[in-house]
């Protein structure tokens, strides 16, 4: 299955209700501040919305809840990898995306046979404080050479205007967060993203 080239990340199912009808086909749910007990109904709702719109839902971090909710994908950061039960994730049939920022992390990710690798931040990002400065498009090209056929996701400071450059540098998929969620008209922005990536 080929993943869509546009990959927005949202912090709740309410965003999915806005994005999916516009044609978003690949979406990540990043529920960082939600207590474990509140995850099942949120994930069930998100999964139902995605299935209704033939979209792929990727659950960030919460792999146990993703398994319980019958989800298909999970995304793990490097810290998440320290505690995740990867054999259990694979036994449940979940596909796996992994964040990387340097060569050691990429080596670790590739040793797990992931289903995609993410590289970030390509540009400076306001989303989270990171010890990595911008990676730049040269790093995207290098990563693509190293991951080969594996889908490469470019994330961090991405905008509609920067998408073409990321694709030209070797990214298969471009991920965006604040470019949409902080936009005055998120729906219009999503339409522009879909236009720019299809």
In whole numbers, what is the pLDDT of the chain averaged over residues?
Answer: 95
pLDDT tens, residue by residue, 79-115: 999 999 999 999 999 999 999 999 999 999 999 999 9
Please give the model's pTM, rounded to 2 decimal places.
Answer: 0.96
Give a yes or no: residue 167 inside a domain. yes
Provide mean pLDDT across the span 164-186. Answer: 97
Predicted confidence (pLDDT) per residue in 107-150, tens digit: 999 999 999 999 999 998 766 666 667 889 999 999 999 999 99
The domain spanning residue 85 has which CATH number? Answer: 3.20.20.70
Choose among 92, 86, 47, 54: nearest CA to 69.
Answer: 47
What total of structural domains would you count in the chain?
A: 1
* C-alpha to C-alpha distance for 96 and 76, rounded to whole angstroms: 7
Residue 34 counted as domain residue: yes
Residues 6 or more apart in contact with residue 144 via CB below 8 angstroms: 152, 169, 170, 171, 172
Residue 92 lies in a domain: yes
Is the residue at 1 inside a domain? no
Query: Could you tell me the residue range of the domain that residue 189 belongs to?
Result: 6-197
Q: How confident is the model at residue 132, as a pLDDT?
A: 65
Count other Cβ atoms within 10 Å, centred on residue 32: 9
Fill in the DSSP letter of residue 126: S
Which residue from 20, 104, 94, 93 is spatially nearest to 60, judged by alpha carbons?
94
Asked whether residue 56 is assigned to any structural domain, the reply reads yes
């Amino acid at each position: 299955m080929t993943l869509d080239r546009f990959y927005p990340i949202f912090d709740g199912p309410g965003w999915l209700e806005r994005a999916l009808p516009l044609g978003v086909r690949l979406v990540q749910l990043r529920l960082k501040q939600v207590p474990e007990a509140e995850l099942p109904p949120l994930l069930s709702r998100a999964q139902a919305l995605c299935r209704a719109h033939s979209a792929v839902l990727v659950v960030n971090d919460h792999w146990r809840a993703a398994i319980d909710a019958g989800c298909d994908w999970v995304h793990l950061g490097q810290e998440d990898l320290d505690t995740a039960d990867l054999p259990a994730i694979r036994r449940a049939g979940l596909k796996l995306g992994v964040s990387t920022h340097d060569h050691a992390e990429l080596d670790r990710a590739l040793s797990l046979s992931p289903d995609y690798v993410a590289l970030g931040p390509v540009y400076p990002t306001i989303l989270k404080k990171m010890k990595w400065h911008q990676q730049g498009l040269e790093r995207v090209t290098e990563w693509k050479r190293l991951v080969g056929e594996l889908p490469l996701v470019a994330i961090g400071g991405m905008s509609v205007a920067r998408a073409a450059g990321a694709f030209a540098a070797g990214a298969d998929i471009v991920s965006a967060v604040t470019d949409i969620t902080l936009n005055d008209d998120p729906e219009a922005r999503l339409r522009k993203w879909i236009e720019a990536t299809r």
